[in-house]
Amino acid sequence: MTRNVRVFFPLSRVTTMGLIALVLSCGGWPFNLAPHGRGQEEQERSVSFSAAVRIAKLLWDTNPASSATTLERILRTAVQRRQLAQAATDLSPLREQMELLVSTGGAADPRYRVAVAVLLTISETGNQCSTAGEAIERLVEQGHSVPDYLGQIWFIRCVDDALAMLDQWIGRQSTPEIADAVQAMLLAGIEQRPEQTTSWLKANWARLPAGTKTAVIEPMTSKRETMAGLLALLADHPADRDLVNPNQLRKWSAVEDAQMAAAIRGIWGVIRTQDDRSRRELVQQTLRRIASGATGSVTRGQAVYVRVCSQCHRLHGVGYEVGPPIDRNGRGSLEQLVSNILDPSLVIGEAFQARTVLTLDGEVVTGLLVEEDDDYVRLKVQGGKVIEFPRDEIEMMKLSTKSLMPEGVEQQMTEQEFLDLLAFLCLQQPPGSAENDLIPGTPDGFVTP
């Protein structure tokens, strides 16, 4: 059964009983906060955000952080449940406060980003697009990230302006802030305006860094439309085909689409769907290399972990819990660690068996089951995001015999980077800890600073 989420905030100069009375007078917390399947069109599953908007307005000056959090929840729900029209109506009483903050407040204010998003949501003309663009530029210039809900609303309301901003940013990726903003905006565009964003990617693919390319490939493999665009793109850039992992291709083998299958074969050849003995041999080759005197750097390996592994694993407080947290799992010995990375489907815990969902509109998503009921199925995917699918929009759901962790992850790094990653993962405690042991089986001399 779907649960209604009630959120309790620390209050300043506002009594808790007064807030409770306000919520109760509006019939309780007004909407379910579980994420929803993706798309652009407004749905008929209409809800009211008005009670939550009143709470946010009440807390706007007395508790800015809580007010911003409330509005962020409203906006994320409205985007994910395709209910921006309803949100625009309910958020319209906040226009004056939002305009004042955007015009006078600084980007460091916790309410700034959400105020920009609210104004975009309630805007009835295109004039707000240029204002939002200036505000987003200010966020990035001052070293702040562009939150997913803001990026998605910007693409929904102002797709031409959003793509024009990407054109400007693409030539200024020398700073980490700009590179991160390009990636965040591309992910938002693929989610909300896949056709226009895929066309932009085709024109600019060669100008993107490898990390950004890898990040956009996962969502592009989730829908027929964007998957077809990715295949066309990689046909022109065959050197980047190894950025796509086997699991991202295998999920399409469960879908009867002869044209897609032919395009995949044309780029990668035949994709194995059964266990490959070469995986087990690769594990043994790696262990022999380490035993023969190879070394790995913890410092470099930590950077590889953040880039490649942290989207699905959490270690020492860093990363997302999609797969098992590797503080406690998978590092009982060096052999177990190497096997889990190079042959991840050898042993799969029941809780970590992936499910592939095919929707009626052609979306294919693979993730871990979080929750399901009579109405919805919820999957957790890369980056810790939870996607909710109405059951009446699911054409097929299949339990995978493969781990959600892709085979061939070593192809996303050089041989030395893989050894560096192993060296980092061989430490029992975070680097720099006063007392730090190596996992059993680690040869002397393998782990270096």
Rounded Cα gap, residues 333 and 345, in angstroms:
18
Q: Which of 101-110, 268-277, 371-380 has the lowest mean pLDDT?
A: 268-277
Give me the pLDDT at residue 214, please: 81
Give me the pLDDT at residue 19, please: 45
Query: Could you tell me the pTM of the whole model?
Result: 0.61
Residue 444 tokens read as 């002397």
Cα–Cα nearest to 189, from 18, 40, 336: 40
pLDDT band at 16 (very low <50, low <70, confident <90, very high): very low
Rounded Cα gap, residues 378 and 289, in angstroms:
42
- Section 304-330 average pLDDT: 81
Backbone angles phi and psi of 355, in degrees to 5 = -120, 140
The answer to whether 295 and 428 have CB atoms below 8 angstroms apart is no
Cβ count near 354 (within 10 Å): 23
Give me the pLDDT at residue 126, please: 61
What is the length of the chain? Answer: 449
Give me the pLDDT at residue 277, please: 74
pLDDT band at 4 (very low <50, low <70, confident <90, very high): very low
Give me the pLDDT at residue 360, please: 87
Rounded Cα gap, residues 397 and 358, in angstroms:
6
**Domain locations in the chain?**
277-344+407-448, 350-403
pLDDT band at 400 (very low <50, low <70, confident <90, very high): confident
pLDDT band at 239 (very low <50, low <70, confident <90, very high): confident
Task: Report the DSSP pairing between strands 314-315 and 318-319.
Answer: antiparallel
Indicate whether 276 pLDDT > 80: no
Q: Which of 119-128, 341-350, 440-449 has the lowest mean pLDDT?
A: 341-350
Select the more confidently predicted residue: 425 or 267: 425
pLDDT band at 88 (very low <50, low <70, confident <90, very high): very high
Cα–Cα distances in Å, from 370 out to 154, 191, 395?
29, 21, 19
Indicate whether 265 pLDDT > 50: yes
Backbone angles phi and psi of 402, in degrees to 5 = -105, 150
Rounded Cα gap, residues 288 and 278, in angstroms:
15
% of the chain at pLDDT higher than 90: 34
- Section 339-348 average pLDDT: 76
Indicate whether 23 pLDDT > 70: no
In this chain, the answer to whether the domains covering 277-344+407-448 and 350-403 adopt an identical fold is no
Q: DSSP assignment, residue 308?
A: I
Give me the pLDDT at residue 76, please: 92
Which CATH number does 277-344+407-448 carry?
1.10.760
- Section 182-201 average pLDDT: 94
Indicate whether 245 pLDDT > 90: no
Select the more confidently predicted residue: 316 or 155: 155
Give me the pLDDT at residue 12, please: 39
Give me the pLDDT at residue 190, please: 94
The answer to whether 341 and 409 have CB atoms below 8 angstroms apart is yes
Indicate whether 211 pLDDT > 80: no
Residue 29 tokens read as 């917390």
Which CATH number does 350-403 carry?
2.30.30.100
Q: Which of 40-44, 274-278, 401-405 has the lowest mean pLDDT?
A: 40-44
Select the more confidently predicted residue: 21 or 231: 231
Indicate whether 17 pLDDT > 50: no
Give me the pLDDT at residue 259, please: 82
Select the more confidently predicted residue: 149 or 321: 149
Rounded Cα gap, residues 286 and 295, in angstroms:
12
Cα–Cα nearest to 328, from 343, 319, 341, 315: 315
